[in-house]
Chains A and B, each alone.
Chain A
Amino acid sequence: MSWLDRLIGRPERLKSSGAVAKERLKFVLEYDRAQITPAELDEIRDEIIESISRHVRVVRDDVEIKLEAGGRLVAEIPLDRTGRGDAAGGIG
């Protein structure tokens, strides 16, 4: 990405195609190197939600699991604090 793109947060379609190529490449190589596919990651996400929901309510739609540079799986699991934990086990 050029400094200009970064500065003004240019949307994807306006980025130079070279910058897009580099970003796509970084993304695909993170998965290649970790020997995992985006689909498997989705599966892991669902399993984590299932597992955690047995104990505490989570905001399912906001649960994120990301593969970060250098081969780190990072999960962000926001807890649902609207109820009072009386329905641990999740909401659907």
Chain B
Amino acid sequence: MAARVVTLTSGKGGVGKTTATANIGVALARRGHNVVVIDGDIGLRNLDVVMGLENRVVYNLVHVVRGAVDAERALIKDKRVPGLTLLAADQHSDKDDVTEDDMRDACEALRDHADYILIDSPAGIEQGFRNALAPADEVVLITTPEVSAVRDADRVIGLAEAAGKATPRLVVNRIKPSLVAKGDMMDTNDVFDILQIPVLGVVPEDESIVAATNRGEPVALQDSSRAGMAFHNMAARLDGEEVPFLSLEVVEEGLLARLAGAIRGGATHGGAS
């Protein structure tokens, strides 16, 4: 094995980077891969909580960087998904305690133990971002269809290219099909028009993400949710499969529509790509 290191980043905070990392990690592991997800947000650790592994963290990235423990021993196994492990961030250190070389070394140490290493980059474009970017073989750029998020994404594309990385692939998160249909939200094509980078996936706004995150259970653990499907499709595309982008239908609101949906045989109508 020689893992591909994929860094997930966004520029702007709060666009769903950590949730995407957790879910793409789950989805890749469910495809049979060995996956290490690394929380790159030193000082503000979140990925362990989103994955529901916060009570099992013993060692973290800073222990590995300081040589207190081998990288492999610091990994926390996700018992729900064989092959999925987490390297947590340190809550009490500072992002300047880790260097770009440290991140490269940590990834090198893990490369032979995994098929994929996913790094959840901190928001912003400072040292923490540069650390997360340094070991990346590939970059996945998460954005939401908002002016500020796409503006920041554009900046990150420039920085990634300046760092010698291949063009990032785009994930447009939290698309609300009903707002797009009304013309009150940019859709994936609009964002693509502007950023001009290949699209890895599109995630519809899905309330089940909130509930899943509350419970520490990434939605990709289940097969029923629209967002979960979207993450599974992204994992397949990372594997090189051509998965068609399904159109994001407007989810019908109201009792009649819901009844109609139930009669058609699914609570999960509306496509996710």
Which residues of A come within 8 Å of B, CB atoms?
2, 16-19, 21-22, 24-26, 28-29, 32-33
Contact = CB atoms under 8 A, between A and B. Distances in A.
A18 B146 CA distance: 9
B194 A25 contact: yes
Contacts of B184: 16-18
5 contacts: A18-B180, A18-B183, A24-B147, A28-B147, A32-B154
A16 to B, nearest CB: 3
Q: Which of A25, A26, A33 has the most CB of B within 10 A?
A: A25
A29 B152 CA distance: 10
Interface residues of A: mostly helix, strand, loop or mixed? helix
Contacts of A25: 147, 150-151, 186, 194
Contacts of A24: 147
B194 A26 contact: yes
A22 B154 CA distance: 14
B57 interface: no
Contacts of B187: 18
B252 interface: no
Given A18-B187, A21-B146, A21-B147, A29 B194 contact: yes
Interface in B98-149: 145-147
A51 B155 CA distance: 34
Contacts, number: 43
A40 to B, nearest CB: 18
A2 B183 contact: yes
B185 interface: yes
Q: Which of A26, A28, A29 has the most CB of B within 10 A?
A: A29
Nearest to B189: A22
Interface residues of B, number: 19
Nearest to A28: B151
The 3 nearest A-B residue pairs measured at CB:
A16-B183, A17-B184, A25-B147
Given A16-B182, A32-B151, 18 more contacts: A16-B183, A17-B185, A18-B180, A18-B185, A18-B187, A21-B146, A21-B147, A22-B190, A22-B193, A22-B194, A25-B147, A25-B150, A25-B194, A26-B194, A28-B147, A28-B151, A29-B194, A33-B154
Contacts of B158: 33
B183 A32 contact: no
Interface string B168-197: 000000000001101111110010011000
A22 B189 CA distance: 11
B227 to A, nearest CB: 21
Contacts of A2: 183
Contact of A18 (B150, B151, B155, B190): B190
Given A25-B194, A32-B154, A32-B155, A18 B147 contact: no
A18 B186 contact: yes
A26 B194 CA distance: 7
Nearest to A1: B183
B12 to A, nearest CB: 13
Contacts of B182: 16
Contacts of A33: 154, 158
A21 B186 contact: yes
A22 B182 CA distance: 15
